[in-house]
Amino acid sequence: MASFTLHGIPVSRGIAIGRAHLLAPAAMDVKHYLIGEVQVEAEVQRLQNAICKVREELQTIRKTLPKESPAELGAFVDVHLLILSDPMLADMPLDIIRNRQYNAEWALVTQIDELSAQFDEIEDPYLRERKADVQQVGERVLKVLTGTALRLPEVDSEGTSFANIVVVAYDISPADMLQFRDRAFAGFVTDLGGQNSHTAIVARSLDIPAAVGMNNASRLIKQDDWIIIDGDAGVVIVDPASVILEQYREHQVQLLRSRRKLGKIKKIPAITLDGTVITLLANIELPSDCATAMESGASGVGLFRSEFLFMGRIGTQHELPTEDEQFESYRQAVTAMKGRPVTIRTLDVGADKPLNVEEQTALNPALGLRAIRYCLAEPQLFLTQLKAILRASAFGPVKLLIPMLAHAFEIDQTLAMIDRAKQELRSEKIKFDEHIKIGAMIEIPAAALALPMFIKRMDFLSIGTNDLIQYTLAIDRVDHEVAHLYNPLHPAVLYLLSTVIALGRKAGIPVSVCGEMAGDVKFTRLLLGMGLLEFSMHPAQLLAVKQEILNSDLDGLIAQTKKILRNTEPSAIAAAVNQMRANPTPSHKSCL
């Protein structure tokens, strides 16, 4: 067989080499037929039995999860259990069977397709990819209905390296991945998925090389093919030539050595060669992520996305989490961080990602009623969350972060709502931090260009580079047709970034970056040269960024960065940034 290469989305760094193991293809293509009226209740019972069996399987996986497993794995199984119990998936297909007399498989697929179409309207990439969770739960039920079992490869008792496998699938759920925990597997390749898919998140948490969004990989790759995954490039090489195989094996050894060295700097403070202290924080989605953040050596949580509490509910608005339920999740995160600060971002949902899946979306969802705009339009929902966050602040240092602010009146209304939440808690004699820090996400160009009104009113700023780049360049970053226009090094983006950092430092107000740029080592020295002292990223990226910091001399980087910012040619800027990392300015001081 001739060697060939596939290109996808890099989601977890490293090199994986192994034999391909193909999982059964998606079970969504099922038989469609009508049943007689006398068969309806029997068909309803058949679907209910399948749902019960899947629930038992997931509960068993959850209970038998080893204590040392990454926290994300258990949390994802919990999400699948919630989806399985949601009326939109557990009850609606039963109504379809009764009303339309579809067979169980057809009824289930019909409802999954309906839910999937609603998720497709969501603009936010992280939340839009939660469609995969619904499909994975549905597929698990379908496999029970159709008798399709998940077959796993057998390995020798010692689990030696020659038994390593690369899992190739159309898609794979976190629950299925857990069933590989006792197998020797090297990496994952999936047709579906993106940077924020659960496959990607789990791969990063397990530190396993993976490439997703490969389209036809599961059809083109054959069982037992030799495969190389280049996790840094998102490239999969199938049936590589011996010389290529040896090159990648050598590269793999070098990466392992580098990772061992990274482990040695876990407890070393992030200080540049010239003695500047840099704060490294973690981005989390779930309270259980705090364990990974602590293990990575994070100084705190720079971004706790609170959406997971709300978006796990795919039903109607009356099912939104209560104040007590929210408080308990926030409290868990705060106590888990053991005195380190936790920055909680208020709800970032809206027209593009409705809490009620039956709501219609806006024509331009990224520009619609979302984030703080949505919260101010739903004051009771906002007040409930604010009170829950404030209550959690009694258990450790908490900061409040407000997304998508652009206007002074929005800031003033938000601060008024926070004051009202405080007053209600005082009346209820509930403790909270009276002096809680309140910050703004800078993710709209208007906010970056009108920064003085933010500095006047807020305690800190956090730059969301993902949206700032999207809005500055007027592109949808999840639209494949314009994805090539998404450029963090565009002169306009760099101008806004440097301006916010410089004005914040001049005013003595803390500024952090919590978008993808913060965790990308290609940009670490550039951001340092702009004067950034606080980075927040996925925990898996933290040690690599720390290594860049430990080997950086700010004096030299500041001079190089000023020169880059004066340049207006994108190609020259990119070359200069690459040069900055390849040949950092030498220092008379030695690296730790």
Which one from 198, 290, 375, 538 is the annotated catalytic residue?
198
- For the four alpha carbons of 502, 504, 507 and 508, in that order, the dihedral sign comes to negative
3-state secondary structure of 282: strand
Q: Is 198 a catalytic residue?
A: yes
- Which one of the listed residues 21, 80, 514, 538 is annotated catalytic? 514
- Per the DSSP assignment, residues forming a β-bridge with 15 are 230
Residue positions counted in the chain: 592
DSSP 378-444: SHHHHHHHHHHHHHHGGGS-EEEEE-S--SHHHHHHHHHHHHHHHHHHHHTT----TT-EEEEEE-S
- The dihedrals phi and psi of 439, each to the nearest 5 degrees, come to -125, 170
What is the secondary structure of 210-246 as a DSSP string? EEE--SSHHHHSPTT-EEEEETTTTEEEES--HHHHH
**Considering only CA atoms, which of 147, 184, 189, 151 is closest in space to residue 167?**
189
Active site residue 591: no
- Rounded to whole angstroms, the Cα distance separating 544 from 537 reads 11
Strand partners, 98: none
Cα 586 to Cα 560: distance, rounded to the nearest angstrom = 13
Helix and strand counts by DSSP (H, E) for the chain: 25, 16
Find all residues with CB under 8 Å of 326, minimum gap 6, and list them: 306, 309, 384, 385, 388, 389
What gap in Å lies between CA 402 and CA 242, rounded to an integer?
54
Give the CA distances from residue 81 to residues 61, 136, 197, 521, in Å, rounded to whole numbers and listed in that order. 11, 11, 18, 36
Pairing of strands 15-22, 226-230: antiparallel
Query: Which residues are part of the catalytic machinery?
Result: 198, 514
